[in-house]
Amino acid sequence: MESESILKELNELLPTSILQEVACFCFYDDHPKDSRKIDIVVCTKRGEVMEFHQRELVSSLLLENTSDIIDIIILRNESCDLFYFVHTNSQIIVLSVKEEMSIHILISNVERYEFLDIDFSGLPCLKVIRKEDAVPFIYDCNFKLLGPVKVPKLEFETFPIMSQLARKLTEAKYNVKQNQATLDEYIKIKQTAAYCLYERNSPNTDESFFSLASTSISKVLSIRTQKPLVKGCNKKITVIVNIKNENNVPIENIHILFHGIDNKTITYTTKVYEESSTIWKEVTNTIKSNQECFVVAVLDMRELKYSVSSKIEFEAVLSFEKLGSSYVLPLENVSISVMETMEEGFELLMSNEDSKLKVLGLMATSEKMELIFRHVDMEDPGVNILEILCKNLNMEALDNMDNVLVHKKSPTHILHGLTLVLMEDNKMGSFKIDVYSRSTAQVLAFILYMYDRIPHRIMVTLPDHIVSAKTSDLARFNSNTEMSIDSKNYASSLLNISKQVLEYFDECMIKMNNSTEPEIKAQIGKQIHFLSVGLPEFLKFRNKVLEESSNGVQTIKMEKFSEDMSVESLDL
């Protein structure tokens, strides 16, 4: 019964991928003077000490050449400095925890140990007896080796009351510090609220109007459009227009322009997409001849939320340039009310629209981030990353799009609207996935949920990260670190050499023009006589060129990416 309760407690404090590797653990002491947020400290079977808070990894340290860990204990000295006491079959390892964990002392060949209070100070001293050594080693509360210990005589009549007064003083200081922090946070929130209220009541109207230099509406624009599709997506409003350019020339600088009837200021952005073989591709605001594209305008939902009439109406036109002239093509007027947003079909993900249009709306209202997923679990090398995400994180695949996953079950969930696009699978446990999210915080939440819920060791990094394995079985994940040459400073040296050569040529031509010798006069306009200024000047010029060339060569540096990460040290 006790083991079941412990297992239930560990399930609440640790992610699923770590439970099977736990060798021992201890709960954090939550000392009043310690501001660190830690719930539990665990030691894994492969000798890694890990700190967790709310099922999230805070920090970790791999103890090399360590196995059979028996116990881990939290200790503090008189300054409240934190130490982790790790005991194995024959070793004692004391870790110092400050900004990061590090090995403080390591004692080998340990027969037995015990904690003593030699001077009756309430601080433990470590007594260690090593194998084949009868003399014990005694360490103080800072784990420094002691010499002969003298026990001071204490006044037992006054000691209890002094201890109580010191404890009361510590509690009072802690309460004052916490109250001051609460007051500072309240002042900050109040200032933020006042600034938001000011921005709402004082909009910047100068950036909201548009102007066209030479605008004309042609009867025959040779552009085919459809009725704008107005839907809600990712807490924003999308206006999607399908456009086909039937001209013989491309049209450029394409935008959807809105002019509000009631509210003159409307905040929006315009994006242009073309359909590719795998997924939508955002292009520049140019459509080639006989090309079909989708133009998406994204409006902030606050435009409707802060409207007095709970309704926004605006006239929409398509603005573009053709052969240097500007044109506008009127579109149908758009009207959106609060009642329409409450309908089930207004949300793009819940509507009956085509799956490609759903992905288009999600991409237009999201930020793109490229990630590399590496599956480092050797027991099950052949996994389908998309099936794992669907099974454990409630992601769903869209119709006719096997490489796209969307989280759309719960509108109130933080992952709602998150879109994953599998771009590349190298069949070696590494997957390149594009993540479309409302913010980077949503991507971080997705990584934490994946680390917490998926029963596989999957490491997530950015494409720029250089990964190197600590063990040979993970060598397939090593990144290619090709050396690159920085030639910027050398280019500056070449410019200086060119300048010196031109100046020397000018001096030579001046001397040739002033010369009275017929042979030199005959060379003018055909060639330059290098020694026309004299041998000493030529030698000075040569030395300057050689010196500048040497300086340029010395500036060339072989550079490589400096960040070296370990597959085993990154648990996300």
In a domain, 207, yes or no: no
CA separation (Å) from 539 to 510, 536, 545? Answer: 18, 5, 10
Higher pLDDT, 476 or 408: 408
Instruction: Give the residue-averaged pLDDT of 366-393.
Output: 81
State how far the Cα of 171 lies from the Cα of 53, in Å rounded to an integer.
Answer: 25
Compute the average pLDDT of residues 389-412.
85
pLDDT at 1: 55
> pLDDT digit string (tens) for 314-331?
777 777 888 877 877 777
The enclosing domain of 309 has a CATH number of 2.60.40.2060
Answer yes or no: do 17 and 107 share one domain: yes
Ramachandran area for residue 123 (φ above 0: left; ψ -120 to 50: alpha; else beta): beta
Least confident range from 13-22, 221-230, 486-495: namely: 221-230
| Residue of 272 and 383 predicted with greater confidence | 272
> What does pLDDT average to over the chain?
78
433 and 557 in one domain? no
230 with 298, same domain: the answer is yes
- Which of 326, 352, 378 is the endpoint of a domain? 352
pLDDT computed for residue 483 by the predictor: 55
Distances (CA, A) of 353 to 155, 346, 350, 527, 563: 84, 10, 9, 76, 45
Q: What is the pLDDT of residues 154-174, one digit of tens each?
A: 454 456 777 788 888 888 888
CA distance 311 to 304: 6
Confidence of residue 291 (pLDDT cuts 50, 70, 90): confident
On whether both 526 and 429 belong to a single domain, the answer is no
**Which residues fall within 8 angstroms of residue 199, CB to CB, at 6 or more apart?**
none
**pLDDT value of position 159:** 64
Choose the final residue of a domain: 118, 135, 151. 151
Q: Are 323 and 249 spatial neighbours (Cβ–Cβ below 8 Å)?
A: yes
How would DSSP label each residue in 231-277?
EEETTEEEEEEEEEE-SSS-EEEEEEEEEESS-S---EEEEEEEE-S
Last residue of a domain, one of 131, 151, 171: 151
Give the CA dihedral 9, 14, 16, 19, nearest 10 degrees: -80
Give the mean pLDDT of 482-486.
Answer: 59
- Residue 391 shares a structural domain with residue 306: no
Q: What average pLDDT does this structure show over 218-230? A: 64
Within-domain flag for 208: no
Say yes or no to pLDDT of 38 above 50: yes
Does residue 195 sit within a domain? no
**Helix (H) / strand (E) containing 32:** none
268 shares its domain with 334: yes
325 and 414 in a single domain? The answer is: no
Residues 510 and 455 in one domain: no
Instruction: Please name which of 401, 400, 394 lies closest in space to residue 418, comparing C-alpha atoms.
Output: 394
Number of domains within the chain: 4
Residue 136 pLDDT > 60: yes
Query: What number is the average pLDDT over the span 357-369?
Result: 89
The answer as to whether 196 is a domain residue is no
Is 21 inside a domain boundary? yes
Helix (H) / strand (E) element for 374: namely strand 367-375
**Same domain as 473, residue 375:** yes
pLDDT more than 90, % of the chain: 6
Task: Say yes or no: 450 and 544 in one domain.
Answer: no
Strand partners, 485: 558
Residue 237 forms beta bridges with which residues?
232, 299
The domain of 291 spans: 223-352
In a domain, 497, yes or no: yes
Q: Are residues 241 and 334 in the same domain?
A: yes
Residues 129 and 236 in one domain: no
Q: Say how far apart CA 297 and CA 272 lie, in whole Å.
A: 9
Q: Does 54 reside within a domain?
A: yes
Helices and strands of the chain, counted as H and E runs: 11, 33
Of 196-205, 257-266, 336-345, the one with minimum mean pLDDT is 196-205
Tell me, what's the pLDDT at 426? 64
Residue 551 lies in a domain: yes
